[in-house]
């Protein structure tokens, strides 16, 4: 293992700060992802998180090299899966309406999200490979006897050149979403998805074309208010803060080092959001996993065992169990990165055997639906500040404070862990109520404050 202190360049790039829009708190729906899919030319592999450790199984579908997405219902049941070959239903049967879709086997990421205000309809978002146009298609789950099919194909979102790395972020407390995408040579752009459709987009941060021979390849990921973007065929990785309520950005940090070998490709964050991990593609025999500590600027490089002769590493996704999962190019294992349970300082690596060799892509679900048991509470709801939780992070206890709790009835605080399991439920009876946490393990929890059937406030609590 190689450790080095990186000379981090904190770049002062132009960016726009957008004013927060007033949104109302919506009733929150329990949902969680149960599976990830790992792309393979011969047999797409499914990782099922309903077991611990997760179980790898074959789907029987011949896939492609990189981009893949899927969507599940609130119980973790597959609704559809999509790769460059087309759409597949819950029975992994091909949806004939997807014939002719523009998505490319060598395009890094494909996204999906619900169509706001139209239950049973879903956007699938993609480009055509490298820096190219941005498109969407729509899956209608009412077609084909409830198994779904595509009803709109290749609708142009923007004719500018967008990179393959892109991300969908849910707007807390609403049924709206952001598309985050890099317009090659111009900067990072956001598109709002709401009940009126997908807007025209706005540049939120200018960013020049990366060096080397960058052509649009590499992953982008969001977690806990931060975005990471890798630029393959350059030695640049970008980190910035993203506010999912306002759509504004801040604190961009550019990482650049010869150690990156012009190959940064996959990126994601630890569950706590304090460390960014990124991988190198087409790189073996040297360090090809990097961990960047956001607070200290320390960069640590690793060369984990990949289980044999492989081509390199691909995309990274944070699983619902808090571990990171890395697809291995031309490998017959999935690389697992543990950052808790004694692995906080230096991550622990493990392998999950699979039955087919994989490419570079993992299905990229909306992160708040993976990590949060309640949709929309990754950040505090924007109009719900009547309760305060201090301290946060907390250790053995915290105080829940408000001006009216003692005069109110039927107030309940609930805490859920990252897998959506209820860990604590307590009646709120005073304006400054001490909540004991000694029975809880350290980690990230999500709180919900309710009065009867009404959701009053929700957010995140870190227990140390």
CATH code of residue 414: 2.60.40.10
pLDDT for the residue numbered 97: 96
Residues in the chain: 464
Do 332 and 430 belong to one domain? no
Task: Please state whether 294 falls in left (phi above 0), alpha (psi between -120 and 50) or beta.
Answer: alpha
Q: Mean pLDDT for the chain?
A: 87
Pick the closest to residue 171 from 228, 114, 88, 231 (CA basis). 114
121/410 Cα distance (integer angstroms): 36
Pick the closest to residue 319 from 270, 273, 382, 381 (CA basis). 270
Q: Residue range 407-421: average pLDDT?
A: 80
Domain finish residue from 342, 371, 400: 371
Q: Which pTM does this prediction carry?
A: 0.79
Q: What is the pLDDT of residues 194-206, one digit of tens each?
A: 999 999 999 999 9
Tell whether the torsion through CA atoms of 29, 376, 276 and 72 is positive or negative: positive
Residue 156 lies in a domain: yes
Do 128 and 247 belong to one domain? yes
For residue 138, list its beta bridge partners.
Answer: 123, 152
pLDDT for the residue numbered 379: 39
337/331 Cα distance (integer angstroms): 16
- Report phi then psi at 21, rounded to 5: -95, 145
Do 214 and 74 belong to one domain? yes
Cis peptide before 53 (omega within 30 of 0): yes
Pick the closest to residue 12 from 230, 251, 182, 236 (CA basis). 251
Do 392 and 280 belong to one domain? no
Do 333 and 403 belong to one domain? no
User: Cα torsion at 97, 100, 104, 110 (round to 10°)?
Assistant: -30
Do 327 and 450 belong to one domain? no
Residue 271 lies in a domain: yes
177/433 Cα distance (integer angstroms): 35
Residue 383 lies in a domain: no
Q: 201: number of CA atoms within 13 Å, CB side?
A: 19
Residues 390/399, Cβ–Cβ less than 8 Å: yes
Pick the closest to residue 97 from 124, 119, 60 (CA basis). 124
| pLDDT above 90 for 75 | no
| pLDDT above 60 for 380 | no
| pLDDT above 60 for 421 | yes
Do 278 and 395 belong to one domain? no
DSSP code per residue over 316-360: EEE-TTS-EEEEEET-SEEEEEE-STT-SSS-EEEEEE-SS-B-S
Q: What is the pLDDT of residues 125-143, one digit of tens each?
A: 999 999 999 999 999 999 9
Q: What is the pLDDT of residues 9-48, one digit of tens each?
A: 555 454 444 333 323 333 333 345 789 999 999 999 999 9
pLDDT for the residue numbered 144: 96
Do 343 and 429 belong to one domain? no
Which letter does DSSP use for residue 387 in this model?
A: -
pLDDT for the residue numbered 12: 46
Identify the CATH number of the domain in which residue 329 sits: 2.120.10.30
* Assigned token pair, 31: 């949902």
Tell me how many domains the chain contains. 2
**Who has greater pLDDT, 112 or 6?**
112
User: Percent of the chain beyond pLDDT 90?
Assistant: 66
Do 327 and 398 belong to one domain? no
Do 258 and 321 belong to one domain? yes
Instruction: Please count the other Cβ atoms lying within 10 Å of the Cβ belonging to residue 7.
Output: 10
| pLDDT above 80 for 103 | yes
| pLDDT above 70 for 268 | yes
* Assigned token pair, 211: 């060096």
Helix (H, G, I), strand (E, B) or coil at 371: helix
Name the band, by pLDDT with cuts 50, 70 and 90, for residue 4: very low
| pLDDT above 80 for 338 | yes
pLDDT for the residue numbered 368: 66
Domain that holds residue 249: 2-371
Residue 9 lies in a domain: yes
Residue 320 lies in a domain: yes
User: Percent of the chain beyond pLDDT 70?
Assistant: 88
26, with CB counted inside 10 A (0-12, 13-18, 19+), is middle
Helix (H, G, I), strand (E, B) or coil at 97: helix
Which letter does DSSP use for residue 145 in this model?
A: G
Q: 140: number of CA atoms within 13 Å, CB side?
A: 11
**Who has greater pLDDT, 377 or 332?**
332
Q: Residue range 283-290: average pLDDT?
A: 97
Instruction: Please count the other Cβ atoms lying within 10 Å of the Cβ belonging to residue 351.
Output: 17
Name the band, by pLDDT with cuts 50, 70 and 90, for residue 453: low
Do 32 and 169 belong to one domain? yes
Residue 377 lies in a domain: no
| pLDDT above 90 for 281 | yes
Q: Residue range 290-295: average pLDDT?
A: 96
pLDDT for the residue numbered 9: 52
Spacing of C-alpha 91 from chain mean position = 25
Pairing of strands 2-5, 35-38: unpaired
Tell whether the torsion through CA atoms of 74, 75, 76 and 80 is positive or negative: negative
Do 457 and 363 belong to one domain? no
User: Cα torsion at 150, 153, 156, 161 (round to 10°)?
Assistant: 100
Instruction: Please count the other Cβ atoms lying within 10 Å of the Cβ belonging to residue 5.
Output: 10
Residue 202 lies in a domain: yes
Among 169-173, 176-180, 319-323, top mean pLDDT goes to: 176-180
Name the band, by pLDDT with cuts 50, 70 and 90, for residue 402: confident
Strand order in the sheet with 249-256: 220-223, 226-231, 236-242, 249-256
Which letter does DSSP use for residue 201 in this model?
A: -
Pick the closest to residue 178 from 165, 164, 162, 194 (CA basis). 194
Contacts of 455 by beta carbon, 8 Å cutoff, 6+ apart:
25, 26, 27, 28, 448, 449
| pLDDT above 80 for 211 | yes
Residue 380 lies in a domain: no
* Assigned token pair, 136: 């969407």
* Assigned token pair, 344: 């906080």
Q: What angle do CA 27, 179, 338 make, to 5 degrees?
A: 80
pLDDT for the residue numbered 372: 52
pLDDT for the residue numbered 205: 97
């Amino acid at each position: 293992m190689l450790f080095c202190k990186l000379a981090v360049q904190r770049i002062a790039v132009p960016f726009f700060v957008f004013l927060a829009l007033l949104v109302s708190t919506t009733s929150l729906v329990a949902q969680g992802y149960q599976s990830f899919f790992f792309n393979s030319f011969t047999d797409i592999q499914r990782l099922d998180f309903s077991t611990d450790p997760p179980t790898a199984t074959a789907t029987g579908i011949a896939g492609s090299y990189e981009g893949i997405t899927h969507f599940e219902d609130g119980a973790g049941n597959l609704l559809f899966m999509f790769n460059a070959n087309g759409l597949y239903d819950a029975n992994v049967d091909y949806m004939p309406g997807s014939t002719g879709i523009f998505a490319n086997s060598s395009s890094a990421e494909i996204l999906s999200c619900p169509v706001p205000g139209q239950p049973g309809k879903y956007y699938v978002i993609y480009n055509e490979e490298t820096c190219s146009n941005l498109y969407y298609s729509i899956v209608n789950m009412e077609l084909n006897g409830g198994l779904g099919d595509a009803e709109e194909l290749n609708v142009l979102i923007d004719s500018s050149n967008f990179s393959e790395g892109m991300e969908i972020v849910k707007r807390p407390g609403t049924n709206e979403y952001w598309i985050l995408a890099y317009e090659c040579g111009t900067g990072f752009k956001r598109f709002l998805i709401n009940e009126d459709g997908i807007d025209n987009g706005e540049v939120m941060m200018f960013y020049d074309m990366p060096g080397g021979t960058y052509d649009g390849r590499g992953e982008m990921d969001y977690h806990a208010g931060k975005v990471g973007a890798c630029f393959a065929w350059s030695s640049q990785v970008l980190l910035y803060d993203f506010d999912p309520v306002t759509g504004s950005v801040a604190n961009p940090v550019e990482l650049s080092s010869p150690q990156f070998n012009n190959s940064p490709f996959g990126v994601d964050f630890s569950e706590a959001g304090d460390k960014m991990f990124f991988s190198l593609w087409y790189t073996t025999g040297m360090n090809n996993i990097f961990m960047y500590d956001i607070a200290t600027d320390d960069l640590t490089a690793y060369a984990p065992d990949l289980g044999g002769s492989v081509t390199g590493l691909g995309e990274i996704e944070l699983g619902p169990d808090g571990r990171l999962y890395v697809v291995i190019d031309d490998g017959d294992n999935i690389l697992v990165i543990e950052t808790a349970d004694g692995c906080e300082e230096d991550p622990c690596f493990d392998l999950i055997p699979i039955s087919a060799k994989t490419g570079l892509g993992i299905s990229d679900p909306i992160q708040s639906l993976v990590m949060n048991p309640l949709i929309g509470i990754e950040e505090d709801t924007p109009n719900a500040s009547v309760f305060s939780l201090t301290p946060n992070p907390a250790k053995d206890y915290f105080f829940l404070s408000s001006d009216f709790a003692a005069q109110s009835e039927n107030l309940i605080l609930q805490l859920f862990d990252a897998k959506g399991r209820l860990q604590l439920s307590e009646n709120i009876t005073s304006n400054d109520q001490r909540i004991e946490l000694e029975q809880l393990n350290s980690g990230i929890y999500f709180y919900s404050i309710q009065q009867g059937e009404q959701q009053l406030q929700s957010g995140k609590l870190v227990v140390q």
